[in-house]
Amino acid sequence: MITVHPQYITDSAGEKLVVLPISEFRNIMDQIEDIEDVRLYDEAKKNDTGERIPMEEVFNMIESKRNKAK
């Protein structure tokens, strides 16, 4: 569980804002990234056909695209 120590402020337009210590903000952002990674992994597993491309072929494809972009 994430522990946060928010401070609440109101701007000149009356809008309420939340201020967090940077370490807590970074922790929240790291947690969001982890959750997104799990979501992307789950999506990839759901759509996995079992087909694989050898690493050397992938490198060749990337290099070919780089050469075409030059």
At residue 2, the pLDDT reads 84
Range of the domain at 34: 7-69
> Considering its fold, how many domains does the chain have in total?
1
At 4-56, the pLDDT tens digits run 999 999 999 999 999 999 999 999 999 999 999 999 999 999 999 999 999 99
pTM beyond 0.85: the answer is no
At residue 70, the pLDDT reads 74
3-state secondary structure of 20: coil
Give the H or E element holding residue 18: strand 16-19
Helices (H), the chain: 22-46, 55-69
Domain assignment present for 1: no
